[in-house]
Amino acid sequence: MVDILINGIVILCLVSGVILFAGGGVGILRMPDFYSRLHPAGKLDTLGIMLMIFGLAVHNIDVHHLSLGDILVSVKMMLIAGFVFHSSPTATHAIVDAGIQAGMRPWKKVEDRRD
């Protein structure tokens, strides 16, 4: 029974992570300018990788043959997820700041004036 629950959590996390990565890729392709493209990259990729790493960390722990090595590997995976959680938004902010410093203008919608 526990194996079914753990496998369900793992599958849910991995599928959700893949969906978020795909949404981030579509957002990057569909957005009109530099600043808009960074938004899905910063948000969806961060959450997607956190869900996928959490799913892999849960999958790594075998409840029937629990060992210290498996626990340490899962802890390391969670530390990596924490590092990504803190560094990805910071890097996105730094890239946006560099774009502003370089003089990149945000995209503005041109209104269609047909009289």
Residue 62's pLDDT is: 77
| Cα distance between residue 87 and residue 42, in whole Å | 10
Quote the pTM value. 0.81
Angstrom distance (rounded) from CA 13 to CA 81 = 13
CB atoms within 10 A of CB 50: 20
pLDDT in tens, 58-81: 999 877 788 899 999 999 999 999
- Residue range 51-62, pLDDT digits in tens: 999 999 999 987
How far is 105 from 112, CA to CA, in rounded Å?
21
Quote the crossing angle between the two packed helices 2-30 and 34-60, to the nearest 10°. 170
Cα 88 from Cα 46, distance rounded (Å)? 7
Asked whether residue 94 carries a pLDDT value surpassing 90, the answer given is: yes
Residue 115: pLDDT over 70: no
Residue 6: pLDDT over 70:
yes
Helix (H) or strand (E) run with residue 79 in it:
helix 68-101
